[in-house]
Chain A
């Protein structure tokens, strides 16, 4: 079974081809700035990439399933879902909550359906895992009427990796029930998972809440926003741009730098940024321990997961309750997306 797995980001579209979900992808590629050019030519580009790669392996390209990783699905998508007219309606309904991603996803779906006519499409949402967050964690301490009116609810945005991280630890040792999952992506996220259910996460109503990222500020006093507006006369666009594109590592160091570079940098400014981010991770890990009532396993995932060792050493030296060793999730996001997409397909087949 050939599965195309696609990860939708704003700056790039990553894709890989899997023959089942056990092994490594037989082909993979990415399209940078795909939203700048539009979705029409995307399926052809994906197809051309796979065809070329497979030709070198003396194989023909075909697709039986397309799985798309979607950053946001709100409360509408509690599990991965095979695309239907109903799911399209639901996506349109939540467009406001992720206005950069959902319209682009809808356009991508149209072009994929047109090109890969008849091939089923599975949608795998990063937020589905967090629809199971307890209300005390997913709610804000503000008027519930107001929260409902503008759909204010806390989610996490790396649910696929967090869910798999728990499963990975639990598969290795069935006695593990309390896991702290530390996802090391450009916007890092810490999640406490108890018996497979998330109980605490650093993400919020948007991905901006939580830990500082490569360009994102993370948690700040909400009145800082009012101060920027009142004292500097900034509008929402400028504030958003500053907090989501010019903060975090970039804001602290003044340099475009990813986590790998930050952790290997020597200059005092970068060192301070690293110290600040590690400290925020420590506080979030402490919260996770508190939410779990202890911790059995700490697992790192994401593209910077190899930094897990350094981070673990810092965290465990400050949190004596941490287990003696940490885990690193070997799985890649595209593979997990493919696996979750197959589950949705099989579930649909069974129901028929």
Chain B
């Protein structure tokens, strides 16, 4: 079985490379994913998926049906990318330039390389003629980077039920360097609103919070390190005789933290810091945004990504490890570092909101994500196609026990 998959994967390499390159050439900044979604949908159709369509919210969905509805495994990657700061790039972020075995472009690592690998993993199973027991869904979702998983939520709550599919497991194509990742810290973006009649007191309070919050919290051990928090500059407003200031504060959420806990913590910290400004009121809320998706639908999203962790000894992790090992792929487990606040995956949405066990397995490099000259190594994508297909077959394929001997 694995020798056939390896040979088919080898034969698909050019197709995988071209698709990834073409996908990078289509800009798909959050909330503007229409062209990329149509391109992805067309490719899945061409690759022989049993069903392909764009759902109500704009996700591109491909389905490979097995004999039974269960188990169903979802391969999920987001289509959207953050907006690249082109001045910092040494090349165009939308040309998919290949140099030294790396393909460069916005979203190359996060996570167009992962998306390509997942789409072709389905194709690899099809081309290897390996029958499936359960269903395989490849979901290229919208509004992840700047939408807090609105696309994915719609997929699980509405699109999959309409297909008669209940997701049992999910694999994210987010950048793991083809390691098996089972969680990460979260983050929350909080808004500190300071208001008062005396403009000097409002300014003093805002500047005190801005300059001292990080230091005081570190000294008092209410945050682990200064890197666990990012404090924005205060923005001042004057109206109707009041002066106000708004300040954006991002905070890392460790496994035991919650957004509510973060609000309590910040309320307490700013109360301590502004105790001398008697006539100033301070309110802490979770930031939210009203967003318009590419298909015109609107949604209000809170700027929170919860921390999450799938049990590293769960059946999903165990089967993934076993399948990769049998396929002679590297088996490396770990968690995302989230070097920059504001990054994250849809893992908490799947695991906490929908109770779907989830892991990450994608070719990208986490350190390259959201940065200038973002890249993904081509060989990692090919490896990921094979690895993802092996895991998916281990979970939802018909076992080939006793039949792999060459000649009967």
Of the 9-residue stretches B201-209, B235-243, B397-405, which lies at the interface with chain A?
B397-405
Of the 9-residue stretches A21-29, A48-56, A97-105, A115-123, which lies at the interface with chain B?
A97-105
Instruction: State the CA gap A101–B405 with chains docked (Å).
Output: 11
Q: How many residues of A contact B (CB 8 A)?
A: 43
Among B327, B401, B405, the one with the most A-chain Cβ atoms within 10 Å of its Cβ is B405
Of the 9-residue stretches B1-9, B72-80, B338-346, B376-384, which lies at the interface with chain A?
B1-9
Interface status of A157 (Cβ within 8 A of chain B): yes
A107 contacts B404, C-beta separation under 8 Å: no
Interface status of B107 (Cβ within 8 A of chain A): no
Which residue of chain B has its CB nearest to the CB of A303? B407
Among A11, A99, A103, A233, the one with the most B-chain Cβ atoms within 10 Å of its Cβ is A99
Instruction: State the CA gap A182–B284 with chains docked (Å).
Output: 83
A229 CB to closest chain B CB (Å) equals: 9
Q: Which of A37, A71, A99, A209 contacts B408 (CB 8 A)?
A: A71
Of the 9-residue stretches A136-144, A193-201, A239-247, which lies at the interface with chain B?
A239-247
Residues of A within 8 A of B133 (CB): 96
Residues of B within 8 A of A126 (CB): 408
Cβ contacts A194-227/B at 8 Å (1 or 0 each) = 0000000000011111000101100000000000
B322 CB to closest chain A CB (Å) equals: 3
A114 CB to closest chain B CB (Å) equals: 17
A35 contacts B399, C-beta separation under 8 Å: no
A235 contacts B403, C-beta separation under 8 Å: no
Instruction: State the CA gap A313–B305 with chains docked (Å).
Output: 75
Cβ contacts B285-326/A at 8 Å (1 or 0 each) = 000000000000000000000000000000000110111011
A33 contacts B7, C-beta separation under 8 Å: yes
B405 contacts A215, C-beta separation under 8 Å: yes
Instruction: State the CA gap A9–B407 with chains docked (Å).
Output: 5
Residues of B within 8 A of A213 (CB): 405
Interface status of A36 (Cβ within 8 A of chain B): yes
Which residue of chain A has its CB nearest to the CB of B398? A99
Interface status of A327 (Cβ within 8 A of chain B): no
Interface status of A272 (Cβ within 8 A of chain B): no
Instruction: State the CA gap A61–B1 with chains docked (Å).
Output: 35
Instruction: State the CA gap A244–B399 with chains docked (Å).
Output: 13
Interface status of A173 (Cβ within 8 A of chain B): no
B73 CB to closest chain A CB (Å) equals: 16
Residues of B within 8 A of A207 (CB): 402-403, 405, 408
Cβ contacts A151-169/B at 8 Å (1 or 0 each) = 0000001100000000000
Cβ contacts B259-285/A at 8 Å (1 or 0 each) = 000000000000000000000000000
Residues of B within 8 A of A19 (CB): none
Interface status of A10 (Cβ within 8 A of chain B): yes
A236 contacts B401, C-beta separation under 8 Å: yes
B403 contacts A99, C-beta separation under 8 Å: yes
- With A35-B129, A36-B8, A103-B129 already in contact, the answer to whether A237 and B394 are too (CB < 8 A) is yes
Q: Which of A96, A157, A235 contacts B67 (CB 8 A)?
A: A96
B129 contacts A9, C-beta separation under 8 Å: no
A11 contacts B322, C-beta separation under 8 Å: no
A-side interface residues toward B, CB under 8 Å?
9-12, 33, 35-38, 71, 95-96, 98-101, 103-104, 107, 126, 157-158, 185-187, 205-209, 213, 215-216, 233-238, 240-241, 244-245
B-side interface residues toward A, CB under 8 Å?
1-4, 7-8, 11, 67, 127, 129-131, 133, 318-319, 321-323, 325-327, 390, 394, 398-408
